[in-house]
Amino acid sequence: MCGIVGYIGKKPAFPILLSGLKRLEYRGYDSFGFFVFDEEKPFLFKKVGKISQFEQNFPNPSGEIGIAHTRWATTGEVTEANTHPHLDCHKEIFLVHNGIIENYQDLKAKLIQEGHKFTSECDTEVLCHLIEKYFEGNLEEGVRKALREVKGAYGIAVISKKDPEKIVVARLSSPLLLGIGNDELLVASDPSAVITRTRQVINLDDNEIAVLKPDNFFILKEKPLETIEWKIEEAEKKGYPHFMLKEIMEQPESLENTLKGRLLISEGMAKLGGLEVIRDKLRKIKRLNIIACGTARHAALVGEYMLEEYANIPTEVDSGSEFRYRKPVLDKDAAFVFISQSGETADTLAALKDIKQRGLITLGIVNVIGSSVARETDAGVYIRSGPEIAVASTKATTSQIATLALLTLFLGRQKEMALVMGQRIARELEKTPKLVKKILEQAPQIKKLAEKYKTFNNFMYIGRKYDYPTAREGAHKIKEVAYVHAEGCRGGELKHCELALINEDFPTVAICPSNSVYEKMISNIEEIKVRNGLVIAVATEGNEDIKKLADDVIYIPKTLEMLTPILALIPLQLFAYYSGALRGCNVDKPRNLAKSVTVE
Ligand code: AGP
């Protein structure tokens, strides 16, 4: 996600902002910017790229007040115009923002009607114009009035040339803290940005506005001082030993971001702004082909079940590496969906270019804004899961599946999906971040399970229907981060081959929630038990019977069958993570693998 740093004190602000921003680099960013206020020579600097590319030539502005930002694009491409700080019409208000302004399109249309001139595509810019609209000499008052109109999430820091000598900050659902130093105050989205200057911080709460002045500050209510105990390197991982664990734990938030502003519950519909340009064409399509690689392909397989069952659209999944060399028979009424976290996977991109040449509709489901897949496709949906640093994909996967569920609603409701069914899916989807949070509370038990099974070098993962891709992904995760051999198999296929592998040294993870294929899964588990195989079952809460059959049980809450993969993947990711960590593997950077596979 994006990063914010602000400084007000008695020292030149720029070097302090720069060092704070560098401490936020680990979070990933595509562009950055500074504003340093100096009455004589205000300094605004924005660039696309990494700080290190420009550092040699940085100017040395004077000024003891400033704000800075690293941007990870979510609304609007990666361009200088979209980079923060953003400005109002008169270039008097300077603002950095983390989060998403959900109603920015409506606000922007209204502000344009009122005469405001916009210079970027970024949702953040509406905040500057709203503050400009309400500003009557007192910045915090302008900010307060502006924020009353805003829906979404924000952490902001604002400076105005017309009410100088202060930084006004505010937050809602996006972290922001004040650093209380000696004769100086800082604001940041993350403790790592202030830790070298002070350990005394105040974490702002939702809906709070604070005003920072050179020698004092005030918030709307009194708040206790807290002390940061983390070391710098721990702060970067929010105190987690690895990025992979941090990213697994972030899933309630990443899923919420994926769904934010996109679920129209009463209409049983999804609002996908990125598909609007192509909505009419999509209504006419007769078939979907989804192309992806690795973990993204497992998400695609879940999508295949969803789209066929609920949107009634024949759907086929292929991996980029196969698609580019086989001679597929393509339907001119098909749309092609490309799923990629990075948006740079060479095999996926090659397939995309091939399809584009044939003039067929292309859609992207991508995390990295402005990446090649996002740029090359006709339209698409960003999954908004935030930067994923660990090579093993975790939070992007669950966001990809949630996005496919949104696509199912979007396409299904334009075809034959009934309103009540749409409403039901939308309601259940909305609950997933909370359900995932609940599953994550079981991390200590799952760690114990990984300890119990750490001497086994082979695992079978089985599932049926929606849980088959989950089984594939569970096996994929433990292979890549723990270097353990694992097979992801359809429950019904076991007896045709893999059952031959099962004995007391080859445990099975059986994904068997209470759903339409539960009884069949029980038969598969029985087949394994009579061959002395150990079984870890992933089952629905309240199913006590399964304890009689399985050696260990991990419970997940009840949800719609189509959404079960989002929940069932969580314990499998944790199991793989702990297995890798216990074996001393480099879980964040597994040997021989890269985060973004940009070569064939
Ligand atoms: C996932 O854990 C792996 N790192 C890998 O399989 C990955 O999903 C695959 O390389 C595709 O990457 P993409 O989503 O960036 O296209």
**DSSP E strands: which ranges in 83-190?**
86-87, 93-101, 152-160, 167-172, 177-180, 184-188
The pLDDT, as a whole number, for residue 49 is 93
Q: Contact, 456 vs 505, CB < 8 A?
A: yes
The rounded distance, in Å, linking the Cα atoms of 525 and 507 is 11
Quote the ligand 1 centre to 391 CA distance (angstroms). Answer: 8
More confident call, 595 vs 398: 398
Window from 8-22, 228-242, 276-290 with minimum mean pLDDT: 228-242
How confident is the model over 205-220, as pLDDT tens digits?
Answer: 888 999 999 989 999 7
Residue nearest to atom 5 of ligand 1 (CA): 294
Three-state secondary-structure class, residue 97 = strand
Q: Of ligand 1's atoms, which has the minimum distance to the CA of residue 294?
A: 6
Q: Are 506 and 453 in contact (CB under 8 A)?
A: no
453-464 tens-digit pLDDT: 999 999 999 999
Torsion of CA 588, 590, 596, 600, to 10 degrees: 180
Q: Which two tokens stand for residue 390?
A: 């660990």
pLDDT of residue 60: 85
Is 512 assigned a catalytic role?
A: no
Determine the atom of ligand 1 nearest the C-alpha atom of 477.
2
Of residues 1 and 403, more confidence is placed in 403
Using omega within 30 degrees of 0 as the cis cutoff, is the peptide bond preceding 85 cis?
yes
User: Separation of 289 CA from ligand 1 center, angstroms?
Assistant: 19
- Which member of 47, 50, 447, 595 is catalytic? 595
Mean pLDDT of 561-577: 98
Q: Give 304-352 as a 3 state SS string.
A: HHHHHHHCCCCEEEEEHHHHCCCCCCCCCCEEEEEEECCCCCHHHHHHH
pLDDT of residue 435: 98
Instruction: Enter the tokens of residue 344.
Output: 């740079």
Mean pLDDT of the chain: 93
**Ligand 1, closest atom to CA 341?**
14
| pLDDT per residue as tens digits for the range 86-106 | 999 999 999 999 988 989 999
Q: Find the helix or strand (DSSP H, E) in which 479 lies.
A: helix 467-482
Instruction: Name the residue with the closest Cα to ligand 1, atom 4.
Output: 392
pLDDT above 90 coverage of the chain, percent: 80
Beta bridge partners of 201: 179, 226
* CA of 476, closest atom in ligand 1: 2
**For the whole model, what pTM was predicted?**
0.72
Q: What single letter denotes the amino acid at residue 351? A: A
Vertex 280: Cα angle to 276 and 281 (nearest 5): 105
How confident is the model at residue 441, as a pLDDT?
A: 98
Which is nearest to 291 in space by CA: 376, 207, 410, 204?
A: 376
Q: For residue 224, is pLDDT > 90?
A: no
Q: CB-side exposure of 411: number of CA atoms within 13 Å? A: 29
Confidence category of residue 434, pLDDT binned at 50, 70, 90: very high
Among candidates 448, 515, 522, which has minimal Cα distance to 492? 522
Q: The tokens of 417 are what? A: 């999906």
Rounded distance from Cα 293 to ligand 1 centre (Å): 6
* Per-residue pLDDT band at 175 (split at 50, 70, 90): confident
Residue with the smallest CA separation from ligand 1 atom 3 is 392
Cα 146 to Cα 79: distance, rounded to the nearest angstrom? 26
Nearest CA to ligand 1 atom 6: 294
Q: How far is CA 149 from CA 106, 111, 126, 153, 588, in A?
A: 11, 12, 11, 12, 41
pLDDT at 73: 87
The pLDDT value recorded for residue 597 is 79
Nearest protein Cα to ligand 1, atom 9: 294
In the chain, % of residues over pLDDT 70: 97
Confidence of residue 223 (pLDDT cuts 50, 70, 90): low
pLDDT attached to residue 190: 85
Query: Is the model's pLDDT at 267 over the cut of 60?
Result: yes
Closest Cα to atom 10 of ligand 1: 294
Ligand 1, pocket residues at CB < 6 Å: 293-296, 340-342, 345, 348, 391-393, 480, 596-597
| pLDDT higher than 90, residue 25 | no
Lowest-confidence region among 8-17, 57-66, 223-232, 534-543:
223-232
pLDDT by residue (tens digit) across 118-150?
A: 999 999 999 999 999 999 999 999 999 999 999
Q: Tell me the pLDDT tens digit for each residue of 414-425.
A: 988 999 999 999
The string of pLDDT tens digits covering residues 456-515 is: 999 999 999 999 999 999 999 999 999 999 999 999 999 999 999 999 999 999 999 999
Atom number of ligand 1 nearest to Cα 295? 8
Distance 336 CA to ligand 1 centre (A): 19
- pLDDT score of 599: 65
Beta carbons within 8 Å of 335's beta carbon, 6+ residues apart: 281, 282, 285, 287, 288, 289, 360, 361, 362, 363
Q: What is the pLDDT of residue 205?
A: 85
How far does residue 380's CA lie from ligand 1's centre (Å)?
19
Of 110-114, 370-374, 516-520, minimum mean pLDDT range: 370-374
CA distance 514 to 570: 17
2 is catalytic: yes
pLDDT reported for residue 56: 86
pLDDT for the residue 27: 75
Across the range 346-371, mean pLDDT stands at 90
